[in-house]
Amino acid sequence: MSETSAPDGLPVTLPPVTDNGPPPSSPAFLARASILLAVATLLSRILGLVREMLIAKYYGSTGQTDSFFFALIIPELLRTLIISGAIASVFIPLMTEMQRAGKASEARRLAGMMLSFVTILALGAVIAGELFAPALVRFSEIISFTDEPLDPERFKLTTELIRILLPIVLLVGLWGLMGGILNAMDNFHIPGLSPVAWNGFIIIFLIFFGYRADVHDLAWAFVIGHLIQVFFHLPALMKAGIRPVIIDWKHPMLRRFMELAPVAVLAYTAQAVNAFVGQGIALHLSESSASSLMYAFRIQQLPIAMFGVSVATAIFPTLSRHAAAGLGKDIVNTLARGLRMTSLATLPATVFFLVLPVETIRLILERGAFTESNTWDVSNALYWYAWAVIPMSLLLLTTRTFFSEKDTRTPALLGFVNMGLYYVFAVMMSRYFGFAGIAITGGITSWVILIVSIFILHKRHLKNASFFGAIGMKSILQMLIAAIVQAAVLMVYKNFISSIQASWPLLGAIIGAMIIGAIVYLGTLWLMRSQDLASTMRILFRRR
């Protein structure tokens, strides 16, 4: 057993390798790693909900929060366009390849060069963003086809907030790369827990200063929180012997990275560009539209981050090892296992949001400056965002599969299609349905891209065989039946709690809905003797 999988989980060195490289992780390890990430992410997301509750309490859903949330999108957009999470996705297979070749020290050196490389790129992006911040706000007016530009005060506020938040480009870029390096070493708990520190700092800030701080102060708190998140990774990286080093521009692996990264960046661009487009259009709709979308989107991301991101992150190193060994059948089996595990977990969450969106938002956000009218707006957006939970979660797996094979062109092309579809539908749907049309668009485009992705993987690895047979269509049908039964039970339950307004009784009612929904969903699967449920439970509770 490598030191990275020791009981305390501390990554003291790179995983030892043999001539054949580190063995792929077992199903039990994948399941436990996914659960570890899910628990860490759950803790982070709970704190994230507390953070959103406090933001809603002190700042509500207004024109100022519209400007803040739009400004918060800009660092993510620039990070994706210039650096991107694709850097970690491209880098992990390269680092894995070096580990398979027994070049542990060289892998550490390459990781150090990447830290230096990302720092240089990110600083350039921050400086450019500071100079062109007003142009970014004006561009939102162009893409929204609005006849009424922002008033001077809101334009000024939005520009100021963008400039405060821009250092996040550097901080999140480093955080993403550091997490990718540790994931390549089968260390998932440090990257999984780092958002806890970020959310914790912002919560402390809001508790002590939220009642008197304006949105400028809130923006600074977000920057400092991201800085803490970066520092959280440093001890593990230093123990592993990884630190920034002088860049060797002639290093063969760095040159390969430079060849793969530009197209990989395009593959990850779609989500960030779509978020910018959606928030940009909403910024020019009725007041609080952009805020309503962002509040709903943050809540929708809870099951995606808990299960979609966790499973995708856990299986990515194993997918990379299978791809490096040319084991196409094992790639399909690992992907199929991930698709089933993700569907099993995200389907009941989707049902919950579809049946109880108003009660959910009322419990989480409706207090202080956040009014009942805001609740109805955000719950409307959450209902439509719920339809995208499953496809967005599964797309994380299919995209990681392409990257494990060092295929950056396919996800890049899919990204272009995604952006084009999203923009057309967002403009069109917002004309008829307001800000809710933007949430509807997210579900439409996610399902389309997921179906196309599965079709491509099917043709690549299974030829004439059935992909549905490979992923276990019987198990998927059982999950759908269980979800329908869960929805029916929750709709009856909803009639008994719809009149509850007070926070503590409503909390009890929502917890009751979660427990009842889980029992009905899992119980229905058990009655149908779901092999997927049984096998998942077995590998969760047995030792590696």
pLDDT at 2 over 50: no
The residue that leads in pLDDT, 437 or 145, is: 437
How many C-beta neighbours within 10 Å does residue 480 have?
Answer: 11
pLDDT at 539 over 60: no
**Predicted local confidence at residue 209, as pLDDT:** 93
**Predicted local confidence at residue 15, as pLDDT:** 35
Give the three-class secondary structure for 544: coil
In one letter, which amino acid is 267?
A: A
Q: What is the mean pLDDT of residues 370-379?
A: 94
pLDDT at 84 over 70: no
Position 446 confidence tier, pLDDT thresholds 50, 70, 90? very high
**Predicted local confidence at residue 83, as pLDDT:** 67
**Predicted local confidence at residue 40, as pLDDT:** 74
The residue to which tokens 């296992």 are assigned: 337
**Predicted local confidence at residue 110, as pLDDT:** 86
Q: What is the mean pLDDT of residues 398-427?
A: 88
- Separation CA 165–CA 136 (nearest Å): 13
The residue to which tokens 């939005």 are assigned: 158
Q: What is the mean pLDDT of residues 369-381?
A: 94
The residue that leads in pLDDT, 87 or 443, is: 443
Position 458 confidence tier, pLDDT thresholds 50, 70, 90? confident
Q: What is the mean pLDDT of residues 149-160?
A: 91
- Separation CA 163–CA 424 (nearest Å): 29
**Predicted local confidence at residue 79, as pLDDT:** 78
**Predicted local confidence at residue 305, as pLDDT:** 80
The residue that leads in pLDDT, 307 or 231, is: 231
The residue that leads in pLDDT, 327 or 413, is: 413
pLDDT at 69 over 60: yes
Mean pLDDT of the chain: 83
pLDDT (tens digit per residue) in 156-177: 999 999 999 999 999 988 888 8
Q: What is the mean pLDDT of residues 411-433?
A: 92
pLDDT (tens digit per residue) in 293-347: 999 999 998 888 878 877 787 777 778 777 777 766 778 778 888 888 889 889 9
- Separation CA 280–CA 287 (nearest Å): 13
User: Rounded to the nearest 10 degrees, how much is the dihedral formed by the CA atoms of 526, 531, 536, 542?
Assistant: 100
- Separation CA 336–CA 403 (nearest Å): 16
pLDDT at 427 over 70: yes
Q: Which of 487, 501, 510 is nearest to 360 (CA)?
A: 510
Position 465 confidence tier, pLDDT thresholds 50, 70, 90? low
Tell me the percentage of the chain whose pLDDT exceeds 70. 86
